[in-house]
Amino acid sequence: NSAGHEVLVDTWPDFKVVLTRPRREVVTDHLDSYTNIYAAYYRDVGAYRDLLGSVITRNQSFRIHGNTGPTTPGKLSMYLLFGSNPRIPPQSIISPSPAALCPPRLDPAVRLSSLDVSHMDLVNEMWSIGGNKHSRRYLESLIRRFPNFCLLDTSDNPVSWGLSDMFGAMMCSFTLPQHRGHGYNGALNILVAKHLHAQSYPCYGHVIPENFPMQRVWGRLGLILDPLKPVTSPNFSFTWSCYI
């Protein structure tokens, strides 16, 4: 339990909702929506709303990862709780068979390695939703605790990298602009996917609707959009964020 999460249910043993959240000693800042992250699975939206209402307060900034469909509109519970308007969610990307992906042939100008904390400021600066103290602390925890890969140049500086989060999702893939066009991002995504699969993790990730370059990269690798969660409909969300 490297993320320090605890599990809550509405009733036991006949539960309708399962909710995970970081233990209170893990989240020391209620404005830290990166660390203050929940995962929700439910069969009954009313029970889900009631449980959320008992554990989340208005002074918190947080994110919720959940799997919803047309009969269980997860965003509805947040409207009812806070009248809030969550962001348009990222689309879920899955790989049906990571083991079948061909191992990449790396450019001789780079070598495979992994990120360490000395790279944290660069990763935080380049992350599209990073660049602040909360994202820096979150990325540090991911780099220290969960699988990641990077490509280093001849001076041992990262030129491309990919992380995985506490739920085993691929995230934060990035190649420095001056090093693009060499297939580095695709190679790293294959390596991360194969590593996660070998460790018995599901191979999946998230991409925001307007990030068409990353969607094309993952498409070329054989990863597919989750058909149950079309990117054009916010009512079919996999991951969404709410800031209070």
Q: What is the pLDDT of residues 91-127, one digit of tens each?
A: 555 656 677 777 778 889 999 999 999 999 999 999 9
Residue with structure tokens 């001056």?
178
Q: How many CB atoms lie within 10 A of CB 137?
A: 16
232 touches 208 (CB < 8 A): no
Fold observed for domain 96-222: Aminopeptidase (3.40.630)
Position 75 confidence tier, pLDDT thresholds 50, 70, 90: very low
| Ranges 134-148, 186-200, 207-221: which has the least confidence | 207-221
Task: Give the Cα separation of 11 and 6 in Å (integer).
Answer: 15
Residue entry with tokens 């519970």: 77
In terms of average pLDDT, the best of 136-145, 168-177, 208-217 is 136-145
Residue 163 contacts residue 146 (beta carbons within 8 Å):
yes
Composition of the chain by helix, strand, coil, percent to 5: 30, 25, 45
- The domain limits of the chain are 5-89+234-243, 96-222
Give CA–CA dist 59/76, Å, rounded: 20
